[in-house]
Amino acid sequence: MAAYCSGSGRDDGRETDYGRVMKPHAIVVGAGIGGLAAAIGLKRAGCTVEVYERARELKAVGAGITIQPNAVLALRHLGVGEEIVRAGQVLKPTAGLARADGTVLSQLDAAEGERLIAEVGAPIVGIHRATLHDVMVAALGREHLRLGHTAEGYELTDSSVKVRFHGGEVREAELVVGADGIRSACRRQLLGDGEPTYAGYFCWRGISPTRGELPQGWGGEVWGAGRRFGGCTVDGGRLYWFAVAQGPPGGEDPKGSARAAVLKHFEDFVPMFRDVIAATPEEAIIRSDIADRPTVTKWGEGRLTLLGDAAHPMTPNLGQGACQAIEDALVLATGIARGSDVAAALRAYEAERQRRANAVVEAARRFGAIGQWSNGAARWARDTLVRLTPASVLRKQLVANWKLPYGGF
């Protein structure tokens, strides 16, 4: 670590020759969406930043993603919101939910959706993860990335954190952000809470080169018996889709058989959904188990904190996993920009974010469990309740999710 970044352990702000306060040197562990957002924010806050990533090359996993308005607003504060809106596909704010036969259960009409977007002040964006990564890496600068570094643990001192990497390498910083995912090494040392909790279902994801009969800007979800299909249009006129089914963890499809397996599971869904699956190249389909962890209220110690899936891993049922990580990044960077005591700023970030993030974890778990019901009577009751829920209630829920309750720098 450069000498100019050493700290006293009491006051992290140091006056420069120009009378400005220098910010701490920061290490971010993990170059996923949350880690990159944190690095961009900390750089904007005045920190020198290094991002250590275990992969030897950056490969976006997960096919596509929805950036909801709360995250678009946060990204605007971080200085990259408009670039991401331009790079992605703006989605129609209709929040559609339907049955496997195509019967609509819940949906905002177009006019109400537009009013909602105007109220929250940002659109919904569908984007390929590779596109999103490219925009965020460009905003940060590749010179800040250190690839091929697998974190194994850390050591706290009064004025820094030393991060240990596989092979014996140690790097030191005055601030460390563990953004290393659901199996975070930083979390493992901090909490020792074992393996993630399997949700009881797994998911195929894919990118179809065509959206078929689905309209441009489509986004939605379809419920069947113990199965769900959904997705959205993304940049380049493509369609990101996901298909969720129940089964034991650790399952795999024999090479070359993933597309056939998805089609078999969803053979009773309306043709327009099966058509986009059939149009997806075999190599563009991935399968993964869905898991989360129980919520916790300890995200850090000393000059180390957790962020994103390392702090609050959630099932993807509400499409808020990356969005909540981006909110983390904004609140963290804002606190560092405004304060001079790193440890105090980290504890303040954790206190401010935990209630909202943990509530989303719990809501996503409940939504996924209900969506996976397979019993006929239970599904009828569920679908009827959803269909009879007033649009005003849906709107209120969306406003709560989409309005950003935090300011910027």
List, for residues 171-230, the tens digit of each pLDDT value.
Answer: 999 999 999 999 999 999 999 999 999 999 999 999 999 999 998 999 999 999 999 999
Q: What is the dihedral of CA 220, 371, 72, 347, to 10 degrees?
A: 180
3-class secondary-structure state, position 198: strand
Statement: residue 1 has pLDDT above 50: no
Place of tokens 């400005």: 20
For residue 81, count other CB atoms closer than 10 A to its CB.
19
Q: What is the pLDDT of residues 229-276, one digit of tens each?
A: 999 999 988 999 999 999 999 999 999 999 999 999 999 999 999 999
Which three-class secondary structure state does DSSP give residue 67? strand
Q: How far apart are CA 190 and CA 161, in angstroms?
A: 13
Specify the DSSP class assigned to residue 148: S
Q: Which two tokens stand for residue 29?
A: 């562990």
Question: CB burial class (10 A; 0-12, 13-18, 19+) of residue 275?
Answer: middle
Measured from the Cβ of residue 294, the count of other Cβ atoms closer than 10 Å reads 12
Phi first, then psi, for residue 159 (nearest 5°) are -125, 5
Q: Are strands 25-29 and 124-128 parallel, antiparallel or unpaired?
A: unpaired
Rounded CA separation 369/366 (Å): 5
pLDDT of residue 205: 96
Q: In what order do the strands lie in the sheet with 170-173?
A: 151-156, 161-165, 170-173
Per DSSP, helices labelled H in 124-164 are 129-140
Place 19 in a pLDDT band, splitting at 50, 70 and 90.
very low
pLDDT at 10 over 50: no
Say whether 168 sits in a helix, a strand or coil.
Answer: coil
The token pair that represents 213 in the structure block: 């009969």
Amino acid at 23: K
The length of the chain is 409
Q: How confident is the model at residue 6 (pLDDT cuts 50, 70, 90)?
A: very low
Q: In 10 A of CB 137, how many CB atoms? A: 18
Break the chain down into helix, strand, coil percent, rounded to 5.
40, 25, 35
Burial 233-270 (b: 16+ CB within 10 A, else e): bbbeebbbbbbbbeeeeeeebeeeebbebbeebbeebb
Q: Which residue has the higher pLDDT, 16 or 51?
A: 51
pLDDT digits (tens, 9 = 90+) for 64-98: 999 999 999 999 999 999 999 999 999 998 768 99
Asked if 97 and 228 touch (Cβ cutoff 8 Å), the reply is no
pLDDT digits (tens, 9 = 90+) for 98-114: 999 999 999 888 899 99
Q: Are 226 and 202 in contact (CB under 8 A)?
A: no
CA distance 349 to 42: 13
User: Which tokens go with 217?
Assistant: 């800007």
Which helix (H) or strand (E) element contains residue 278? Answer: helix 271-278
Query: What is the rounded CA–CA span in Å between residue 44 and residue 32?
Result: 18
Instruction: Choose among 63, 62, 45, 61: nearest CA to 53.
Output: 61
**CA dist., res. 384 & res. 251, Å (int):** 33
Q: Look at residue 51 and give its three-state secondary structure.
A: strand
Gap between the Cα atoms of 262 and 227, Å rounded: 11
Instruction: Give which of 6, 120, 31, 3 is closest to 73, Cα–Cα.
Output: 120
The CATH class of the 23-88+131-196+293-380 domain is alpha beta
pLDDT for position 198: 98
Say what the pLDDT of residue 359 is: 98
Cα distance between residue 29 and residue 186, in whole Å: 9
